[in-house]
Amino acid sequence: MASQASVASSQPDGRHLRLIAAAAQANEHRIREILSEESVWTSHTDRDALRQALQKVATRGNLTLVRLLLVHGADPNVRRDTETPALFPAAAGGHVQVVKELLARGADPNWRNRNGQTALFVACMRGRDEVVKALLDGGASVDVRDKEGRTPLLYLASEKSDRVRIDILRLLLEHDADIEARDAIGRTPLLWAATNGNVKLVEALLSGELCGKRANIGAANNRGRNALHLAAESNHEEMVKLLLRYGADPQAVSDGGWTALHNAAQNGYKGIVALLMGREKVDVNAELSNGMTPLHWAAFNGHEEVVRLLLARPETDISVRDSFDRTPMLCAAERHHKQIVQILSPARAAGRLSPIAQRACKGFEATVVDFGDFRDGKKQLVFKHSVHELLYGWDEETNKPTVSTVPKNIKYQPAFRWIHLPANNIAWVETLLSKNFVENGLRDMEARDIEPFKALEKTFDQEHRGKFAHAHFMRTFSQRIAASPSHDKDEKEKTLIPVAEEQSDVSSTSQATLVPTPKRGPENGMPTKSDNKKKSKAEQIAERHPKRAKRTNGPPGNPPGTKSAARTMSQLSFEATKSVSCNGKIVLFMPYLHYETDERRRKMSAAIAAARSGRGLPEKPTRDDLLIHAYATHMPPLHPRRTLDQYFYHGIDTSARDTDQVVYRYCKRSNIEPKVFMVDQLWLYILGKDLIITSFPQRWDQPKHDPLNVLDGILEWTNTKTRPPVQSVYDLAMTITNRCSGMFDRHRLDDSDYQFLDIFESSIGRVTNRESQLFDRFNTASRLSGQWLEHHRQLQRGLQTRMIAKAPNSYREDPIFPDVLLDIGVETSLLAEIKDIRDELNIIAVILAQQTNILDEFESHITDELRSESTTTRRSPITETLIGEIRKRSREQGRLLTIHQNDIQRMDRQAESIYTSLTHLLDLKQKHSNALEARFARDQAVIAAKQGQTIMVFTIVTIIFLPMSFIAAFFAINFQEWGPGLRIGYVSKYLFGIGLGVSVPLIAMAFTVTDIFDLVRGLPGMVRGLGGKLKGRRKKEEKEDGSSGDEMEDRIDVRERKLDALSAREGAGYPREELGIPLSPLSRLSVRLPVGGRHLSFGSGGSGTGGLSWARSSYDRDRGKSQDLERGKGMR
């Protein structure tokens, strides 16, 4: 039977096919007939047919047939990977009884298909709650995962909202399904529901209505995105409301720093943005890893309504830059969103200023000067506008800025415009540059027009910042930002469409007629096409030698036709400068010297300290107070004026040094208002050929009549009739830099109070004069000290009576010259003053060197810009003329700076000479003091020696007579043994014998007491040394018994040579210790006895040079040498 079954299995059995077909039709009668044909279905093919038939019947949900097939041996589980067990179609069809029957007959509830899903997945997806319950009761795993890592709960949550059954979720959770299960991408059921916008499911997961379990609202996927991120990205407003109501954090960030506001703003979902902006915790300025804020994304993608929503929050920062150095306005400009560019312009952000900043802007005046040919022969028009009006002024009726930064947009068409800001405030300058960028239009929003502006704003990276207010400044810097090569061509072919202000007819015409060189017609003497004919020789000679023009009305001495010719030339010059097509940008940051009164400087320092410490405004604040409090702690901060020391030592507190300047001390001595040197900054921007922007500070509470007012000086210079008018922005730039760098030129000021360089010369001269007086004083005191010493030496030699009679009164009184010689206070103060002078001269020299270097670079940038007018054709003569004029002005400027540098170097050399002289004077005083101290020390030593001799005499007398007195007193006692009387011989024998016997040893001990103590202390060591030497000698003799006599002789010779060397070295003054020869204690016992100056020695040592000399002649001779040295004789 087995073999037959095996053979038959290779071909399909008709009986099996009929069974499967009947099962597919759920034909119970037919199935029973087929099953009755064979009593036993036991072969392998039989079981396969029964299993397949069971799968077909389970799909139909026929419980009777299912049981029938199971009775005949149908297997509920599969044997092949291509099959699906009967439990799957039964679960999918919702046939609960069939599912239960299959589970009861051993069906595997956790069998997985190719996707890793079990029958529970199918039941949950189809919404078969009873089947789900049966499967769970039958042992199905509730947290089994498919290939994507999803559990049945996750799979159910990932479906659309209309296919999710809450009751099935409840069933799963009742069987301990993990509510925080994550799939392969880290999403939880809550995240899937939020993504699909299933509000009911999310509320069920968050409210706890499902078996009391609550989902974690802060759960995030593998990229850190939570439910709020996903809902915002999918634009589900109701979902966002629900999540915010349940406490979702709008500030939660995902990978890269994304917030829900970023997601909504990027896609332009204004409803989501409005919901998020309604929360107080939302960070509207949150930055991504690339620095982009929600405003960046909204502007970049052109979502105007979202931009307006974001700008509704006052804390929205429109100046923040991303890693590509773009502001939101530049992001909009890159994507050609003109309206958003205009909305985001800083010039339209006046409402975002703080109240103090608005008051400061309205309190300061900006200066606007237009240059050109105007009515009544005027060459320049000066206007004063508040900074607020200049930067933020807007005419709502005309929808134009109140003060334009584009000369083309002005009716009277100036050749170029100069705008000056009265403080080094980056916020003001950035706003003005942005306003000009927007007003100029974006030239079809091409990238080449945006990049120069980005480069212009990037120059603010030169700012230095520190912990002190004076540490904020711009590094000395100059840069040329070239225009795009095709920019000029586009300017000819395309019409500039301004964003902020419409062009007038005149400006449009002038723009259309701009050419590299002006064309002149017959009316101005230039040849036209008709004039190209060959001329006669007479006409050529007449052209070469024109007739002299007649004199016109004018002052005597003027050349003929001076006024009209000058007017014509000036008109041609302005027209010529218009024709120069230079559209590049040039930037200059340069320090320059100025001044301030000490009182005003103190007020400024106090205001800065108050603003940085958070103290409020004074009761009546000035405009300077408002500016400091508004922008000192602003980002970027205001750059205040700096003193010399603050400029050079910007990393330390210079409060003490600021009140000790050379100029300040000079003013105090001269009883004039104290002033101090200040270092200000010039910020200069040349924006094309028609606009120049400058910024430098004015003085604190700027007085109206200030002889060193930089702005007034420039305006006065440009308006002077004796000089040619300013013809271009480059000419004006050279004028401004010349005025700032030459602020203290001697030829510009008549008031000596403002000649600060002369103040340095005067201070140096004062110190020089004082140093000469001190040197003369030292010479006088030195001479008096020599005379005084000579006088007292003669007194000590016994000439006291005669010298007193002849000596002046000054010798009889206490001398005052020691005070003069020992007091160095004046010299030290002068040394400190000259050191301060040199220090400040060095700072000024550094400033001048920086000016020289940066102005040379600035001149090269201007000439390069002018040369770039045409790279393919020959430059026009007008351009060459402008370049020549710029170079001439630059050379003159460099010459003046060189003169100043030479003056500084000359003064520094003079100060260095004084410094050296004062140092030498202090050195001489020190040497003289040392000599005096040596002289007085010598006198003290002599006095001490005399006192010591006196004490020794009394000691000797006491030693001699004390024993004798004792013996004499003993004999004076009336003893019976003495008898009736004592004889002189008897008493003298005992009196002098015993007394001298005791006195003489004691006198010897008095002179050698120190040596005796040394001997006593050295005896133990000497005894131990002698014992060790004896032992070593015995051992050595025992070892050397066999040695020859020659070796002994060699040793004796060596010892003799050592002794000879010892004698020679001792004669040269070398002690025995240095020769390595030990000294015996007895060699130190030596003393001089007061017997004719002889030397008494105990032991073998002593050269006779130690001890105290008793020879008077030797003492006087040494004393004479010392006195000669004090009088300076030994130095000759």
Which pLDDT tens digit goes with each residue over 759-796? 888 888 888 888 888 788 777 777 777 776 676 666 55
Q: What is the pTM of this model?
A: 0.69
Residue 369, pLDDT score: 96
450 to 69, 454, 456, 457, 649: CA distances (angstroms): 81, 6, 10, 11, 38
Rounded Cα gap, residues 193 and 160, in angstroms: 8
Structure tokens at 169: 């979720």
Could you tell me what percent of the chain has a pLDDT over 70? 76
The two structure tokens encoding residue 412: 């009277």
Q: Report how far residue 987's alpha carbon sits from residue 206's, in angstroms, rounded to the nearest whole number.
A: 133
CA distance 440 to 341: 12
pLDDT (0 to 100) of residue 611: 93
The 10s digit of each residue's pLDDT in 302-312 is 999 999 999 99
Q: Which of 435-449, 676-690, 1021-1035 has the highest mean pLDDT?
A: 676-690
Q: Alpha-carbon distance 286 to 963, whole Å? A: 108
pLDDT band at 1060 (very low <50, low <70, confident <90, very high): low
Cis omega before residue 527 (within 30°)?
A: no
Angle between helices 877-972 and 756-796 (to 10 degrees): 20
Percent of the chain at pLDDT exceeding 90? 32
For residue 755, what pLDDT is reported?
A: 78
47 pLDDT higher than 90: no
Predicted confidence (pLDDT) at residue 567 exceeds the cutoff of 70: no
Give the burial string for 995-1028 (b: 16+ CB within 10 Å, else e). beebbeeebeeebbeebeeebeebeeeeeeeeee
Question: What letter represents residue 6's amino acid?
Answer: S
- Tell me: pLDDT of 476 over 50: yes
User: Residue 36: how many CA atoms within 13 Å on its side-chain side?
Assistant: 6
> In this structure, is the dihedral angle defined by the CA atoms of residues 854, 860, 863 and 868, taken in order, positive or negative?
negative
Cα 333 from Cα 340, distance rounded (Å): 8
Among 421, 456, 465, 463, CA closest to 437? 456
Q: Is a pLDDT exceeding 90 seen at residue 799?
A: no
Mean pLDDT, the chain, as a whole number? 78
According to the model, what pLDDT value does residue 748 have? 55
Please say if the pLDDT value at position 1127 is more than 80: no
In this prediction, residues 569-589 reach a mean pLDDT of 66
3-class secondary-structure state, position 313: coil
Flag the least confident range among 165-174, 424-433, 615-624, 953-962. 953-962
Q: What number is the average pLDDT over the span 233-262? A: 93
- Are 168 and 124 spatial neighbours (Cβ–Cβ below 8 Å)? yes
Distances, alpha carbon 1012 to alpha carbons 888, 949, 1002, 1083, 1095, in Å: 96, 21, 12, 12, 17
In angstroms, the CA 767 to CA 773 distance is 10
94: left (phi over 0), alpha (psi -120 to 50) or beta: left
Q: What does the alpha-carbon distance between residue 330 and residue 307 come to, in Å, rounded to a whole number?
A: 14
Residue with tokens 């009861």: 104
Residue 580 confidence (pLDDT): 56
DSSP secondary structure code for residue 15 in this structure: H
SS3 letters across 374-441: CHHHCCEEEEEEEHHHHHHCEECCCCEECCCCCHHHCCCCCCEEEEEECCCEHHHHHHHHHHHHHHCC
Span 1067-1096, pLDDT tens digits = 444 444 444 444 443 333 343 433 333 343
Mind listing the pLDDT tens digit for each residue in 1007-1034? 787 888 888 888 888 888 887 777 777 7
> If pLDDT is split at 50, 70 and 90, which confidence band does 576 have?
low
Comparing CA positions, the residue from 785, 786, 781 lying closest to residue 921 is 781
Band of residue 612 on the pLDDT scale cut at 50, 70, 90 = very high
- Inter-CA distances, 558 with 566, 719, 942, 987, 1034, Å: 11, 20, 96, 138, 127
Going from N- to C-terminal start, the domains of the chain cover 360-496+592-604+640-743, 756-955
Separation between Cα atoms, residue 815 and residue 389, nearest integer Å: 77
Residues 845-872, mean pLDDT to the nearest whole number? 87
pLDDT in tens, 742-762: 877 655 555 666 777 888 888
Contact 427, 634 (CB under 8 A): yes
Give the helix, strand, coil percentages of the chain, each rounded to 5.
60, 5, 35
- Integer CA distances (angstroms), 746 to 681, 752, 958, in order: 22, 9, 88
Buried b (16+ CB within 10 A) or exposed e, 746-783: eeebeeebbbbbbbbebbbeebbebbeebbeebeebbe
Torsion of CA 946, 947, 952, 954, to 10 degrees: 120
- Give, as one character, the DSSP assignment of residue 72: T
Q: Is the pLDDT of residue 67 over 90?
A: no
CA-to-CA distance for 525 and 520, rounded, in angstroms?
7
Most confident of 35-49, 78-92, 432-446: 78-92
> What tens digit of pLDDT does each residue of 73-107 get?
888 888 887 888 988 899 988 899 989 988 988 89
> Averaged over 1102-1128, what is the pLDDT?
41
pLDDT for position 1010: 80
